[in-house]
Structure 1
């Protein structure tokens, strides 16, 4: 068995004295693992940093085997990603989100979104908006997608200001006002009437929104904690939004 594809490095773990098991995200084969012989060498260590775009050739006798990777660099952006808290936390958090999905399950749109976000992590405020959309996409692929396009009560597509914590559907200002204390806020940049950039308050509300449904549908049922890196990313992204001219 053999295939070759571009991939984004998510992480590595030691295997023996000189090798590592690399975890990558591919467009057609999803999140995939493979043994890299000599992966701890001075030549390979810079290549196998999270966020780097690489060319991967995977070989194994049978499809269900771990297999071996041969990896060549395409775009080494890890050094740039390590320069800011937003980028560093962002890479870690997105990798953790992708680990919620079954291994080798293809999610091409998530691969493409990951690649785009990694190229924009040097714009912390903008990266926050992209990251929220990434979380929404992961929720959708896990079967817990939110419907933010029309009011659950009236069907209208304008003045959507709330999200029902029960249904995960948008609610208009008029319909949701009597129950506002029990509703989640729908930031304007996620609604049909989106604006150019999100304010710090809207980013805060967006992180609260996706975090609520990730806890309810994913982390709590699995008995696992939300990655601490997400909080670091949230704080850094909102701080950058507050400092934006």
Structure 2
């Protein structure tokens, strides 16, 4: 059996003397693994860099087999991603998030989001904001989505200011004020009616917010550590942001 799809390279690992096992995020079939023969050759090694967009064909005798990949390039963007620390960490952190999802489980919207985020990783404000939205989308697909559309206490959609660490729902300023020290701040750029761009303080609040819920619902129950690449990405994005403001 075989199929063809668009895919984004997430990473590779060695397999024998000349082949590799490639991991890709496909447009319609989710995260998928396959062997690439002669994957260590100069041509294939350049193609198999994380972040590159490819046309991929998978072939195997049975669906449950590892199978073989053949690939053709669509966009070589890995070289550009390697130019800055934020984008280098970012592509690794994004891949780590996708590994939280079951292999071969379709998530076409995450493929589209990944493609967009990778194209903006070199712009600090856009990279940080898009990455946070990607984390929120992964949380949602894992069944732990946050509800930031209306106040959990009053039902109001106005003056949303906090996020409850218990429910993952937005809380308006008046209802949340007595519990201020126990609440997360809802960044302006994540408010449903906002058209404001992300700023450093808002990004930091957003990174804390998503990290808390990922740790609570995913990392701790599974007994795994968050990707070190995320910490590098957050640090690099905020440092690049500060340079722009100087």
TM bin (shorter chain) = over 0.9
For 1:194, the equivalent position in structure 2 comes to: 194
Cα deviation digits, residues 49-79 of structure 1 (max 9, x gap): 0000011010000001000000111101000
- The answer as to whether partners of 1:87 and 1:124 remain within 8 angstroms in 2 is no
Cα deviation digits, residues 180-224 of structure 1 (max 9, x gap): 000011101001232431111110000000000000000000000
For 2:222, the equivalent position in structure 1 comes to: 222
For 2:52, the equivalent position in structure 1 comes to: 52
For 1:34, the equivalent position in structure 2 comes to: 34
Classify the secondary structure of the residue corresponding to 2:145: coil
- The answer as to whether partners of 2:14 and 2:21 remain within 8 angstroms in 1 is yes
Q: What is the deviation of 1:101?
A: 0.2
Q: What is the deviation of 1:125?
A: 1.9
CA distance in 1, matches of 2:79, 2:167: 42
- Do structure 1's residue 207 and structure 2's residue 217 form an aligned pair? no
For 1:146, the equivalent position in structure 2 comes to: 146
For 2:107, the equivalent position in structure 1 comes to: 107
Classify the secondary structure of the residue corresponding to 2:44: coil
CA distance in 2, matches of 1:82, 1:69: 25
For 1:127, the equivalent position in structure 2 comes to: 127
Number of aligned residue pairs: give it: 245
**Structure 1 unaligned runs (5+)?**
none
Classify the secondary structure of the residue corresponding to 2:10: strand
CA distance in 1, matches of 2:244, 2:147: 30
For 1:160, the equivalent position in structure 2 comes to: 160
- The answer as to whether partners of 2:188 and 2:196 remain within 8 angstroms in 1 is no
Q: What is the deviation of 1:47?
A: 0.2
CA distance in 2, matches of 1:168, 1:196: 22
CA distance in 2, matches of 1:14, 1:198: 40
CA distance in 1, matches of 2:160, 2:242: 24
CA distance in 2, matches of 1:240, 1:190: 21
Classify the secondary structure of the residue corresponding to 2:206: helix
Q: What is the deviation of 1:241?
A: 2.3
Cα deviation digits, residues 78-119 of structure 1 (max 9, x gap): 000000011001100000000000000000000000000111
- Structure 1 runs of 4+ with >4 Å offset: none
CA distance in 2, matches of 1:169, 1:232: 28
Classify the secondary structure of the residue corresponding to 2:24: strand
CA distance in 1, matches of 2:20, 2:177: 55
Q: What is the deviation of 1:27?
A: 1.2
Question: Normalised by the size of structure 1, how large is the TM-score?
Answer: 0.98
Classify the secondary structure of the residue corresponding to 1:193: coil
